[in-house]
Amino acid sequence: MKGIPLKKVLFFSLPIIAGQMGQMLFGTGDLLVAGRYSREVVSALGVATTIFSPFLMLGLGLTFAISAITSRIIGEGKKEDDMLFNSLLIAGSMGVILSLALYLFSFKLEVFGLIRPIEDLVIQYLQITAISIIPALLYQVYKEYLQSYGHTYVSNGAILFFNVTNIILNIVLMFGYDFGIFIIPEMGIHGAALSTVITRTLMFLTLSAYAHKKFKMKVQVNRVRIKEILSLGMPIGLSTLSEVLVFTTVTVLVGRMNVLASASHNIVLNLGGLTFMVPLAIGSSASVFVAEQFGKKNPQELLRYALACIIISTAFMSLTAIIFFAIPSPIIRLATPDPKIITYASTLLFYVALFQVPDGIQVTLWGVLRGMATTKLPLIMCIIINWLIGLPFGIYLVNEYKMQAAGLWAGLALGLTLMSVVLGFIFYCRYKSFKLAPHSGDQI
């Protein structure tokens, strides 16, 4: 076997990593501006984002199949000129369904038991931003499609550019601004919501214009293609939703403990989410490289690219684990000067450090298996491990050993570690099968 293509994978992944970081910074930008507006708006945005996220992630997970399928078709040497249109058709339809579902759900927020002023603000925000799911999913379709052809700079660079646009719009629309010729009134949380809708729409339109200059789109409904995208993409979307809901459940459970635990948890959750963006991007790259070799029926090259992606993710997450183990307090101090939060959050960061490497491996293997058209079995294992092992174990530690938030994080660490082992075994079996008789299709 030839050398492992670490350099090629790394340079392909760098813009994707930047784009993933940019996606996370959208929420940070909203909170930074809102923090200078009012405490109530900051609180409402935090709650609204938590509610909004599962709806968005279900749709985004579905689109992750596009780059894998397109890359596989390219590897097979076949035409895929109707792929983009059918992907947009699915994403647009799913966007409408999810937007409507979120809008209707916003009328039932009493289930969360929020205080009245915050609940009203959350409802207002969600009812405006619900429609932004549609351009967000359409943007992701173009991003995934371009990625399968190696075009990663414009789509991911656009995310960073529109981060700045989002912050500017937040300032202008939330606080209001007198331009002389006309005046934009102060809109508060309505302004934050409109900023999100406008930014996501502009992102979609920009990338759409770029993609259509690069590629011709065949406007033709292809039921076989649609079925293929849904068959591979829905398990990805559901598994993404499953993981998001686990972390959301943990956040809710911690929020019921005390203010110190909740504040510490939120800081640590953001740190863990930030480091997770790198292997998530590597997993996205893995699906492209692996899918192309899967289409070419080349097991040797497939293994080389899979190993390269796993090695890069493992190396990065090993580094972050060492940093979290070695200097937890200075890291937490960057987010808050409160000594009690620093002490409490440092304890939680220990468990984050424990699952850094397993988390990086499991999300990378998700990308590898996606490239091998295998998503159903990983979905089943994801649900079993997260909801029947990891979360119950965390709750057990809370109830029996009074570990508070640390117990729930220990449960997350166990779940992610088991997930990395199970996905590794699935990959081994799938690769062995592929090596003996190369073919495509999900195997359970």
285 contacts 309 by C-beta, under 8 angstroms: yes
In angstroms, the CA 126 to CA 150 distance is 35
- Give me the helix-helix angle, 189-214 and 39-63, nearest 10°: 30
Model pLDDT, residue 347: 95
Strand partners, 177: 184
111, burial (CB in 10 Å: exposed 0-12, middle 13-18, buried 19+): exposed
**CA neighbor of 171 nearest in space, from 37, 38, 44:** 37
Residue with structure tokens 């979905």?
Answer: 379
Alpha helices, H only, 106-222: 116-129, 133-148, 153-175, 189-214
Model pLDDT, residue 267: 87
Tens digits of residue pLDDT in 80-106: 889 999 999 999 999 999 999 999 999
In angstroms, the CA 395 to CA 85 distance is 45
20 contacts 280 by C-beta, under 8 angstroms: yes
Task: State which residues of the chain have pLDDT below 70.
Answer: 1-2, 438-444
| Structure tokens, 234 | 């829905």
Taking the domains of the chain in order of start, what are their residue ranges?
1-221, 233-444
Strand partners, 178: 183
Model pLDDT, residue 444: 45
In angstroms, the CA 87 to CA 311 distance is 31
- Give me the helix-helix angle, 259-295 and 65-76, nearest 10°: 10
- Give me the helix-helix angle, 65-76 and 223-255, nearest 10°: 150
